[in-house]
Structure 1
Amino acid sequence: MVIKVPRKARTKSKTSVYQIIWRGANRQEIFHDYQDWIQFLDILKKYKIRYQLVIYAWCLMENHVHLLIKEGNEDISITMKRIGISYAKYYNWRYITTGHLFQDRFKSENVETISYLLTVVR
């Protein structure tokens, strides 16, 4: 018998600022060309405007994403879910695939101080 343990809830940041890392499933590429990067940034911009996110920095690699974001008027987990679903739909449509694009849920670190914010940006 397998006993499932519920995953630990995210700790809310006192500043509402998070460093977010998202990886492709099995570390697969999630961006193959310039068009994919632009599509992801367009989706990010859409939700930035809609939910009043503050985006301090971003770095898109072939198989993962780094974001430095201040939560807007919606819980960061919900907003990130919307962004992930939107990009996965685009990706699956463009590359005629199905299934999960991202590995697990996104990882996040709370950014509570200016010095850590500067470290993350670096």
Structure 2
Amino acid sequence: MRKNKITTGGYYHIFNRGNNKQNIFSDQRDWVRLLFLILYFQSPINFYNLGRQTSYYVKHRVFNISKDLEKTIIERRYTDLINFAIMPNHFHLTLAETSEGGISKYMQRVLNSYTKYFNTKYDKVGHLFQGPYKAVPIDNNEQLLYLSTYIHRNPREIQEWKNREKYYPWSSYQDYTKENRWGEILKREVIISQFLGKNKYSDFLKMSPAKKALNEEIMIDE
């Protein structure tokens, strides 16, 4: 993996996993918590009583975010979230660096907030994640497209989701092929605008030899 400096305007494959490859979730509310952080911590805006957001999502399958607050997050964000997949012991993101130091600020907020939440809830101490997150630069559009398919196919690793990854609730795949649940919070247009319809993206994903097509330098050993 290359350790290049993150530069404004670039796209990056971001990855982190649990310490010693341990699971980073113990119940559904944990999954919801990290999903919220990944989506809405793209700006410096602080949130309070995230437990209410978790409870709302568990009941309604959406977060209780007003249009005005969403607009403010979008206006002030320092990174763009292109796609994601959250797995039992790791996660993958594609991020764009839209302001200097944006990805670093975003990842610090997400990881610190989730670790503090998890350790407090389960009375644990120490590191939840296996060291710093990894960030690998994407060199060209072809890599960007294939990376999206690699990330969206990740849930195939889970037996119950094998060949059903388009329905997996903890990735952005369904947001690429159906209605985008998160609006402009998820910048899917970077990818989806290159296909003549959502079905074409699904076809591309199904046919894509993602791991073979991608330069091995941007892949991360899981």
Kept after mapping to 2: 8 A contact 1:13/1:110: no
Which residue in the other structure is 1:57 paired with?
83
Kindly, what percent of the aligned residue pairs are identical? 32
Alpha-carbon RMSD? 2.0
Choose the corresponding residue for 2:16, options 15, 19, 22: 22
Q: Counterpart amino acid of 1:72?
A: T
The separation in 2 between residues aligned to 1:28 and 1:96, in whole angstroms, is 16
Choose the corresponding residue for 2:113, options 77, 86, 99: 86
Choose the corresponding residue for 2:93, options 52, 67, 72: 67
Instruction: Give the SS at the match of 1:56.
Output: strand
Counting helix residues as a fraction of each chain, which structure ranks higher? 2
Structure 1 residues 45 and 14, CA gap change in structure 2 (3 angstroms): closer
Once the 2 structures are TM-superposed, how far is the Cα of residue 71 of structure 1 from its aligned partner?
1.9
The separation in 1 between residues aligned to 2:7 and 2:143, in whole angstroms, is 13
Instruction: Give the SS at the match of 1:11.
Output: coil
Which residue in the other structure is 2:6 paired with?
12
Counting strand residues as a fraction of each chain, which structure ranks higher? 1
Instruction: Give the SS at the match of 1:79.
Output: helix
Once the 2 structures are TM-superposed, how far is the Cα of residue 80 of structure 1 from its aligned partner?
1.0
The separation in 2 between residues aligned to 1:45 and 1:11, in whole angstroms, is 24
Instruction: Give the SS at the match of 1:48.
Output: coil
Aligned length: 115
Once the 2 structures are TM-superposed, how far is the Cα of residue 83 of structure 1 from its aligned partner?
1.2
Residue 105 (structure 1) aligned with residue 132 (structure 2): yes
Q: Deviations over 1:76-118 (max 9, x none)?
A: 2232112110110011111111110110111111013111111
The separation in 2 between residues aligned to 1:14 and 1:81, in whole angstroms, is 17
The gaps in structure 1 that reach 5 residues or longer are: 1-7
